[in-house]
Structure 1
Amino acid sequence: MADDVTIACIGAGRMGRGIAQCVAYAGHEVRLIDAKEREADAFAKLRDEALDEIRTALASIAALGAFKVDAVPQIMERVSIVPRGEAATGLSGARIVFEGVPEVTDAKRDAFALFDAHADGDAILASTTSTMLSTELAGFTSAPERFLNAHWLNPAFLMPLVELSPADETDAETTAFVRAYLEGMGKVPIVCKASPGYIVPRIQALAMNEAARIVEEGVASAEDVDKAVTYGFGLRFGVLGLLEFIDWGGGDILYYASRYLAGAFEDERYQAPEIISRHMEEGRIGLKTGSGFFDYSDMDVDAYRQRRMAAFLKALDNAGLVRPPKL
């Protein structure tokens, strides 16, 4: 991936500013294009507010020790805010154009039309929508082969994950280029099909609703539910992925626990999906059988367990929970 990739973003709001912070920090020029027509005074106000917000965010991270604060001015030199009337100039030379306008169909159509009218012939358009599907949005551009969705998690600067969702028409080279670019700037991109909720929002919606339901039912206080998440659920899954954890403990445990919960609550939302039953029938229970969601047949399982235990200890230490033994 070349070091001189220029990035543009249509939309100078929260998402655009977060992306600009990431891109400029990674050493690339980034231009935020105002998606709205404004009078000169109104645009100047927007521009100054956006630059100040990005500058302040960088300085705050630097103050926490992430990097030296005297680097902020140099980083900010790579950020520019462009009025809509100068979109042609702002989009010229941009290899990837992120769309960061509100989640409104008309706003998306307008931003895509701006890209089609002014972007270079090899430019990639990446929406940042968290609710619309790439398969729906692809019809808004005349270049669907150079379009995909790139869902950043907030806060964009701190969260490494970016969920990439190609449309049916998206060229494989388009996805590969965006993925490589994001990896080059220190992000962790993953690819998923166009599906409501993508991956993280789909999982977290269930978890958040269940946490709220526990409080609603009087099972535990909000404080204790969040302690359980912080020091149990979150700590555990900060080291092991959800599917990895199923394999770690055994898919049979999830299978029987799901049957119990579904019966106890008389609610099918606790039923295990068919893939869990199929793995049970096939003997793919996880580590103890050599395969599950992942293949462990050629793995040094003892060494793998040690690596994961070391990661657990590091997480505990970061949380200030490691104590020496009482002798």
Structure 2
Amino acid sequence: MSQVLPRVAAVGAGRMGRGIALNYAFAGLSVCLVDLKPRSEEQLAQLQDSALTEIRQDLEFMAGLGLLERSKVETVLARVEFAGQQQAADALAKAGLIYEAVPEKMEAKREAFAEICRHAPEDAVIASTTSTFLVTDLAALVTHPERFLNAHWLNPAHLMPLVEVSRGDQTAEATVAWLKQNLKQVGKVPVVCSASPGYIVPRIQALAMNEAARLVEEGVASAEDVDTAVRVGFGPRFAVLGLLEFIDWGGGDILYYASNYMRETLDERFAPPQVIASNMEQNRRGIRDGEGFYNYQNADLDSYRQRRLSDFAGLLASRELLPSEGMALKD
């Protein structure tokens, strides 16, 4: 674990493995896309061509956005190697960081980890990209589990900045710190959570998506209007203020009373969690009390509000959602 920028291997040549390989190659590192499945030479060549073609197309798209000079597309692509089953042992032996990105089936995971641990250096960090299995479910499949954790990348992996890092009971703190630093060096924003179903984003996302579907199911609004409300209302606010920060901004009491009203008139699922009630009882309702989920007692609140509102206005401007003076009088 001494190398901060090691050679990387992504085991599994599907969409996630390709996205991770692209991200590391774009950051300037050599990375090997490893396919462990037995294939004929023809099948392996087809898979390799498919993977590299997709990565090239993504690079060309990024060049179209101005993120990369077109002349460097092939330079970045050349940092991505491909290894089939016959070359996997050598590729894994050279890697200091190995991502497992095989299909979400326990047998596939078991086989992949057995092969990884058979050939990888003992100090190589191993991270599963699974969105299904907990790190505690998989740790038994890995030798030296202190170097193992989950790293949940969001699709598209090469563009989404967030990576949710989930530690297990046996994961060493040094492993967590090392992977966080590595992810930051390749342009990612890591967050850490314990082994819990749904991590952070999928857990919140599942509730929001189900509620959106219920709005349509109940005839409250059309699918188009629900999605418009999310794109121009819900989404922009929480792109600037996190959900908990937003509670503090408006006041936890607003959420408390609104949640209880919806619990009474709609469903018990809207009941506020105990932490909201406790914050109410202890006068930790947010900014106006000087404390909520965050502590504001020594904060320059005017400066803080100005930064957040400026960020919000900038986001709205980028989406052409800001009003303009006299707009009602213009053609």
Letter in 1 for 2:265: A
Matched residue, 1:247: 248
Matched residue, 1:25: 26
1:149 partner SS: strand
In the alignment, is residue 223 of structure 1 matched against residue 219 of structure 2? Answer: no
Q: Structure 2: which 5+ runs fail to align?
A: none
2:126 partner SS: strand
Report the alpha carbon displacement of residue 3 of structure 1 after superposing the two structures with TM: 7.1
Alpha-carbon separation, structure 1, partners of 2:135 and 2:299: 37
Matched residue, 1:320: 320
Report the alpha carbon displacement of residue 273 of structure 1 after superposing the two structures with TM: 0.2
1:81 partner SS: strand
Does structure 1 retain, via aligned residues, the 8 Å contact 2:4–2:182? no
Cα offsets for 1:81-100 (capped at 9, x unmatched): 10112211111221110000
Cα offsets for 1:150-180 (capped at 9, x unmatched): 0000001111000000110001111111100
Alpha-carbon separation, structure 2, partners of 1:4 and 1:203: 32
Matched residue, 1:292: 292
Q: How many residues of Structure 1 are paired with residues of Structure 2 in the alignment?
A: 326
Report the alpha carbon displacement of residue 121 of structure 1 after superposing the two structures with TM: 1.6
Does structure 1 retain, via aligned residues, the 8 Å contact 2:279–2:285? yes
Alpha-carbon separation, structure 2, partners of 1:323 and 1:215: 29
Runs of 4+ in 1 over 6 A off after TM superposition: none
Report the alpha carbon displacement of residue 33 of structure 1 after superposing the two structures with TM: 0.8
Alpha-carbon separation, structure 2, partners of 1:316 and 1:95: 42
In the alignment, is residue 308 of structure 1 matched against residue 308 of structure 2? Answer: yes
Does structure 2 retain, via aligned residues, the 8 Å contact 1:125–1:146? yes
Cα offsets for 1:49-105 (capped at 9, x unmatched): 111110111111211222211111110111011011221111122111000000000
Report the alpha carbon displacement of residue 288 of structure 1 after superposing the two structures with TM: 0.3
Does structure 2 retain, via aligned residues, the 8 Å contact 1:286–1:292? yes
Matched residue, 2:58: 57
Does structure 2 retain, via aligned residues, the 8 Å contact 1:3–1:27? no
Cα offsets for 1:249-278 (capped at 9, x unmatched): 00000000000000001x211000000000
Q: 1:125 to 1:2 in 2, by over 3 A?
A: closer
In the alignment, is residue 281 of structure 1 matched against residue 281 of structure 2? Answer: yes
Alpha-carbon separation, structure 2, partners of 1:307 and 1:45: 51
Matched residue, 2:94: 93
2:33 partner SS: strand
Q: Structure 1: which 5+ runs fail to align?
A: none
Does structure 1 retain, via aligned residues, the 8 Å contact 2:27–2:186? yes
Report the alpha carbon displacement of residue 323 of structure 1 after superposing the two structures with TM: 3.4
Q: 1:2 to 1:115 in 2, by over 3 A?
A: closer
Q: So what's the TM-score if we normalise by structure 1?
A: 0.98
Alpha-carbon separation, structure 1, partners of 2:117 and 2:222: 52
Alpha-carbon separation, structure 2, partners of 1:195 and 1:221: 34
Matched residue, 1:158: 159
